[in-house]
Amino acid sequence: FIALVIVACIIDLHRALGLLVFTLLAIFFYFWDRLVERYGSWMWEASSPIRCLLSRNWFWMRCVLYASLLVLTVLWLVLDTAKQGTRQIVSFFGLLLFVLLMLVFSKHPFHWSWQALISGTLLQFLIALLIFRTSSGASAVEWIAQKVEILFGFTDVGSKFIFGKKYIDHPFAFKVMPVLLFLSSIVSVLYYVGFMPWLICKIGYAMQIVMGTTSVESVVAAGTIFLGQTESLILVRPYISKLTLSEIHALITVGLAGISGTMFAAYIALGVRSQHVLTSTVMSAPASLAIAKTFWPETETSSVKDESGIKIPVDDNTNVFEAASRGATSAVGLVVTIVVNLMVFISLMTFLDSILSWFGSLFDCPQLSFALIFSYVFRPLAFMMGVSWEDSGLVAELIGTKTFLNELLAYQKMSKLIKLRKAGGPEYVDNVKQYISAHSEMIATYALCGFSNFASMGIAFGSMSNFAPDRQADIASCGFRALIAGSVSCFMTACIAGVLYVPEVHCAHFLSTHFNNSVVTNSSQLIHCCTQLYTSVTVNDPWNITISNGFSESSLRQCCLLTPAAQFNCSLIS
């Protein structure tokens, strides 16, 4: 296999770069696992003097570290906001507000786990910083998202074969739902070959070390990145009956704050940007643990605190084909549940809206509906996440739909808003906003990306009660607080995305607007857009120039006055 990789790199390194990276990672982790397996105990003993030194001075080191991080964050935010605008400040204070609310209304105030809260929030921040503010991180996520979309696209072949060429006439039932079956089959195969348990354990171990959470909590949090809330609980099924109340609350919270890989496919099929859904899925894992251990701190002695590792149940499939088949058939119940619930919920909401409209008409308010109620109740939350006040009503409606019904229905509504914005129609019709901005769509994507709704809370209660019948009362007592914590985890992720997100600038529109102003100011964005304009210029002959990508000749003249072009002679512009 290595020889084939080398040959592929020799033929075309750029084309084989992805294969090379995955091969090098596989080799590194293989030898790392062998090294730890053979010399792990010796390495642990050899590092004992350093560990003792750190433990003696850990309090002061932690204080200095946290203070330094706080000062650097504030300085960076002030300097960055000077360039990007004030909307980031709103998202930042929204983040502080959500954390403060969790501290104030904590189950056991002053028993908070500062390590979990600060390290979890910092992990979120670093992940978002890597993706939003570095070209390599953004390119990596975009590359992964593109490959995932290509993978999901293969489902159309099977759908077309079964349902015929007109399957696209019923996109949700015959295009979106088959993706869930396909992805469930792939996850089952990855589980059978051992890759999925290995990856979950690695991520869980890293979170356990960094955040100071127990191995059970960390493994479930890592599992929610790839699996659903029930599947993640199966990973630690033997330990559930021994958990403390805080640990039970944490397990329910991470399940409600995350999504499953199969639902990830459904959101993408609805038209939601895959990069944001993928980023939110990863960011929610540390966020949910941080909020869970703050909203319900540990006050008991954990019986799984000293567990060196979680023994994940072994897959009982006999071969790859059986794993693929059983994975697909196991998702049939999920597909049926989604279709039936959506059909019933939409019908029920329409019925209840008609009742509210009738009741409101008695008081000259026939437009009364759940959407209107949600738009007022959740509007402050949407605004504090960084959504503009004009868009916050529609985003609040989406948040209410997600909380009281489910996130899939909310994403379905948001997909309609996305289509209206891309169609370029009027923003207001009869003083009613028709769609939201791309920035608000981004924040809404993060805020909605989670199972934190009442229906999922019931599913979590049923699953955990099935695994630990003797803890049914304890599980029920944690449900509502876990729902709040899961929702806040999603809102925190949206706030951090709002702080770090830099909206895409369409340079043709930017230059046209900028040069129409009475005062033209030189800036890095202006230079960047002028450079992009120059690359869109084609010189056919000395006096024949073609401009593409929507740029105008007027913008080209203005750019030539500000900065010379390297690709051609600006004197050719009359």
Query: What DSSP letter does each residue of 81-95 carry, written as one string?
Result: HHHH-THHHHHHHHH
52 occurs within a structural domain: no
Tell me the average pLDDT across 473-490: 93
C-alpha–C-alpha distance, residues 557 and 552, integer Å: 9
The residue assigned the tokens 């449900």 is 479
Cβ 91 vs Cβ 495: under 8 Å: yes
DSSP for 115-179 reads HHHHHHHHHHHHHHHHHHH-HHHHHHHHHHHHHHHHHHHTHHHHHHHHH-GGGGGSHIIIIIHHH
Q: What is the mean pLDDT of residues 55-78?
A: 78
Q: Which of 184-193, 313-322, 386-395, 509-518 has the highest mean pLDDT?
A: 386-395
3 state SS of 196: helix
pLDDT band at residue 314 using 50, 70 and 90 as cut-offs: low
Number of domains comprising the chain: 2
Range from 196-200, 226-230, 486-490 carrying the lowest mean pLDDT: 226-230
pLDDT at site 492: 95
CA 468, CA 462: separation in Å to the nearest integer? Answer: 10
What confidence score (pLDDT) does residue 350 get?
Answer: 84
Alpha-carbon gap, residue 262 to 273, rounded angstroms: 16
What are the CB-based long-range contacts (under 8 Å, 24+) for 363-372? Answer: 370/400, 370/404, 371/397, 371/400, 371/401
pLDDT for 87 = 78
Whether residue 522 has pLDDT greater than 60: no
Q: Output the pLDDT for position 480.
A: 92
In a domain, 529, yes or no: yes
pLDDT band at 101 (very low <50, low <70, confident <90, very high): very high
Instruction: Judge whether residue 210 has pLDDT over 60.
Output: yes
User: Is pLDDT above 90 for 315?
Assistant: no
What is the band of 245 on the pLDDT scale with cuts at 50, 70, 90? very high
Best CA proximity match to 269, nearest among 139, 367, 432, 148? 148
Amino acid at 541: D
Confidence (pLDDT) at 305:
66
The answer, yes or no, to whether residue 144 has pLDDT greater than 60, is yes
Is the pLDDT at 254 greater than 70? The verdict is yes
3-state secondary structure of 539: strand
52 has pLDDT over 70: yes
Q: How far apart are CA 107 and CA 187, in angstroms?
A: 37
Asked whether residue 468 carries a pLDDT value surpassing 90, the answer given is no
State the pLDDT confidence band at 40, using cuts at 50, 70 and 90: confident
Query: What burial class does residue 526 get, using C-beta atoms within 10 Å of its C-beta: 0-12 exposed, 13-18 middle, 19+ buried?
Result: buried
Residue 8 burial by CB count (10 A; 0-12/13-18/19+): exposed, middle or buried?
Answer: middle
Q: What's the pLDDT score for residue 148?
A: 79
* pLDDT score, position 312: 67
Name the pLDDT band for 272 (thresholds 50, 70, 90).
Answer: confident
Whether 397 is in a domain gets the answer no
For 124-135, b/e burial (b = at least 16 CB within 10 A) is bbebbebbbeee
Predicted confidence (pLDDT) at residue 519 exceeds the cutoff of 60: no
| Most confident among 405-419, 525-539, 550-564 (mean pLDDT) | 405-419
What sign does the dihedral 204-207-209-212 (CA atoms) show? Answer: negative
CA dist 533 and 302 (Å) reads 61
The whole-number average pLDDT for the span 255-269 is 81
Q: Has residue 456 been placed in a domain?
A: no
* Residue 193 in domain: no
Q: What angle do CA 506, 508, 509 make, to 5 degrees?
A: 70
| 174-189 average pLDDT score | 83
Calculated CA dihedral for residues 395, 401, 406, 412, nearest 10 degrees: -60
Taking residues 66-88, report their average pLDDT: 74
Tokens linked to 171: 């996109």
Would the pLDDT of 512 be above 80? no
Q: What is the chain's Cα-based Rg?
A: 26
Is 279 part of a structural domain of the chain? no
Residue 18 pLDDT > 70: yes
**pLDDT tier at 414, thresholds 50, 70, 90:** very high
pLDDT at 281 over 80: yes
Mean pLDDT across 156-176: 84
How far apart (Å, rounded) are the C-alpha atoms in residues 139 and 363? Answer: 55
Model confidence at 370: pLDDT above 80: yes
- Which residues contact residue 17 at a Cβ distance below 8 angstroms, ignoring those fewer than 6 apart? none
In this predicted structure, what is the pLDDT of residue 192? 86
- Average pLDDT score, the chain: 84
3-state class percentages of the chain: helix first, strand second, coil last, to nearest 5: 75, 0, 20
Residue 559 lies in a domain: yes
Question: pLDDT band for position 293 (50/70/90)?
Answer: very high
Q: Taking a C-beta distance cutoff of 8 angstroms, is the pair 259, 411 a contact?
A: no
What's the pLDDT score for residue 497?
92
Q: Which two tokens stand for residue 454?
A: 């009442």
Q: With contact defined as beta carbons under 8 Å apart, do 241 and 468 qualify?
A: yes
**444, pLDDT greater than 90:** yes
**Is the pLDDT score of 88 beyond 90?**
no
The single residue listed with the structure tokens 């914590």 is 485
Strand 544-547 and strand 537-541: the pairing is antiparallel
Structure-token pair, residue 448 = 């909605």
The pTM of this model reads 0.80
Q: List, in order, residues 6 or more apart from 34 with CB less than 8 Å away.
A: none
Question: Does the pLDDT at position 173 exceed 90?
Answer: no
Measured between alpha carbons, how far is 70 from 405 in angstroms, rounded to an integer? 38
Helix (H, G, I), strand (E, B) or coil at 432: strand
pLDDT of residue 294: 95
Domain range for 24 is 1-38
Count of residues making up the chain = 574
For residues 459 and 445, is the Cβ–Cβ distance under 8 A? no
- What mean pLDDT comes out for the span 67-73? 80
Selection from 72-81, 161-170, 342-351, 442-451 with the highest mean pLDDT:
442-451
* Position 461 in a domain: no
CA distance 487 to 494: 11
